[in-house]
Amino acid sequence: MVYASNVSLQYNLNDYDDGDDDLYHVVVQKGNVGSSYVYALQLLHSQHNIYVFRGSRQKNVNFDKSNPVLRLIGQDAYTAGGHTQTWEYANQSGDWFVGTKPMPNQDNWTKQIARVHIPDGQKIYYNTNLQRLSYLNRAGESYGIGYSGDDMARVEAAVSPDYQYFMIASGDVYHNGYFSLYYLSDINSALNAAGTNPVDIRGIHCVRAFEIPGIAGANGSVGSLQGFDVSDGGNYIYISSQFAGDSNRKIVKIPWGNANPDSWETVDLNHQIILDANGYYTELEGIQLINDNDLYLTVAYHRDSDGLTAMNRIYRVNWTSNI
């Protein structure tokens, strides 16, 4: 266990109770800080529809709630939206990775990763209209990784800060986690060539992959899995973790290929009072790695009185690592 050496508020995304009402009153699942813009991904219509907003990079970010840069619809019989915490720049101008194709039996978590081009003023209704990666339950198959698609619970993607590596992180209904690493250039090349035909991940060279049994769930070695990221060189995985309403706030750093929790590093955020707000309880959300042991962390704030998500913020967190 280590403690963060510095936690600082970087961006106020919205604050409904203070009159800053430029986002919806739901969690920002993933914030992303770009060179010019700050992005906020929210889920609407009972977490069926994916909306992404962007505003100029400044302390109090101004969003236009009526003008999202992306709308993926997953309600009713539509298949473009769903529950995701992936919003990663693809290192091609205007191109981003996001989850798509909801699984109704898994709280609408998405099962594919799409690459979208923004801004897009049109609602997108079907995953088949998107460039996308499929068979992600088989990511890392050349390393013995794989499980039944019927057992998939969730899948996310992350891109290393230097844009060299692309990671697939997935989980099954038995709380096991699977991590597979690819070259981002290979992913982009395959998507460029395929158009809107699905790209089977098994056809792309996997650099390395491994499994962590029992990583998720109430008794898991990490527990709540929120945001994921991967370091330059693919040497470490970072995971943010906090069940809503739980005081156990943490970042977990995992050496690649090491499934033994005794070899991991947990960054304790329980006593970082800068994260607290009177009258609200926190929920840690997505992360964006800047460098090793230095990242942006999105935090949602729910009102104690009625549970309404009234605020979302992005903090910068860094620490001195022992691994």
CA–CA distance, 178 with 204 (Å, rounded to integer): 17
pLDDT > 80? residue 187: yes
Q: What is the pTM of this model?
A: 0.97
CA–CA distance, 47 with 74 (Å, rounded to integer): 8
Q: What was the pLDDT predicted at 272?
A: 95
Architecture label for domain 2-318: 5 Propeller (2.115)
CA–CA distance, 238 with 288 (Å, rounded to integer): 9
Q: What was the pLDDT predicted at 247?
A: 73
Kindly report the average pLDDT of the chain as a whole number: 97
Q: Answer whether 187's CB lies under 8 Å from 217's CB.
A: no
Q: Answer whether 22's CB lies under 8 Å from 62's CB.
A: yes
Give residue-wise pLDDT tens across range 112-155: 999 999 999 899 999 999 999 999 999 999 999 999 999 999 99
Q: What was the pLDDT predicted at 243?
A: 80
Strand-strand pairing, 199-200 and 131-134? parallel
Mean pLDDT of 163-192: 99
